[in-house]
Amino acid sequence: MFAAMRGEKLESLHLFTDEPSGLEAIVAIHNTRLGPALGGCRYQPYASFEEATADAMRLARDMSYKGALAGLEYGGGKAVILRHPHVDNRAALFEAFGRSIESLRGRYLTAIDSGTSSADMDCIALHTRHVTSTTEAGDPSVHTASGVLMGMRAVARARLGQSNLRDVRIMLQGLGNVGYSLAEQLVAEGADVMVADLDPGRVRLAADELGVEPVALAGVYEAQCDIFAPCGLGAVLNFDTVSQLRCAAVAGAANNQLADAAVAEQLVSRGILYAPDYVINAGGLLYVALTHQGVAPGVIAGRIEQIEERLDSIFQQSEAEARSPATIADQQAEAILFS
């Protein structure tokens, strides 16, 4: 475990249990050089403790890099609560997690993530102030989607030669809160949107409400499009799936999209532009961090709009130095965090 922590440059790893509620939680704190660690609380089933721990560590690292490039005074952290088939009292589970967060004395600030809701954050907030994305603070999903939209404009400019998304064909994989909001915003922009999701009901709803084109899951990677947008869980880009892609660029909201760092070079070799996930999906982090600090909504919106400029800069440097955008983004973040 210590070797894995050193590999991710992780500062600390915390395990919490609470027998009455059934809580089994992992909190990974990657880096606090810029400030307390901030990152969501993920509530998902995992095949093993080792898989859950590895996920928490990888996600914590990305939160550090995301916060650094977004110009925030926060480090990176992530929480994972192991989701079992049955829980007697969900509220009690998250209250127990709130007490766990409080025991860290402000080193980690938690927020909504996959499998959790603002109502869960409200339960956590009963026992600690080190939480955001509560009902009062608001769900960051729409702001994550807005940032991805801004990033897609930079992608369209770099790869398609246009600064808007009108008639740009986009394959959107995943219709959770972020994915559905992104689909709404893309349709409003005049994009030609295709969608796929594990839940066929979400796909039917999007088709009926938004007029998007449903695509079978089996055909997602081979769909002919301008932009492939992963918006579900991570590690969907591997050597097999990238070999199937028929797109000009990859730009989506999912975290940890690359199953392996070498996949970034495979994308380059195939002529597919990649928008580093922790850059393009930083809108939600900006919203929760700045809302927690009491920053005005208009200022927050302006900071989210800067995602487009940040990607413009990364793409330009990538082109000038003949290195992948993923490598450029990593080096920029590491210069802030470790120099």
pLDDT digits (tens, 9 = 90+) for 121-159: 999 999 999 999 999 998 899 999 999 999 999 999 999
Contact 223, 171 (CB under 8 A): yes
Mean pLDDT over 254-280 rounds to 96
Q: What angle do CA 147, 33, 335 make, to 5 degrees?
A: 70
pLDDT digits (tens, 9 = 90+) for 177-188: 999 999 999 999
Predicted TM-score (pTM) of this structure: 0.93
Contact 151, 314 (CB under 8 A): no
Check whether 214 has a pLDDT greater than 90. yes
pLDDT band at 339 (very low <50, low <70, confident <90, very high): confident
8-state DSSP, 196: E
Which residue numbers are catalytic?
A: 78
pLDDT digits (tens, 9 = 90+) for 44-86: 999 999 999 999 999 999 999 999 999 999 999 999 999 999 8
- HEC string of 61-96 equals HHHHHHHHHCCCCCEEEEEEEECCCCCCCHHHHHHH
Looking at residue 234, its pLDDT comes to 83
- Alpha-carbon gap, residue 20 to 18, rounded angstroms: 6
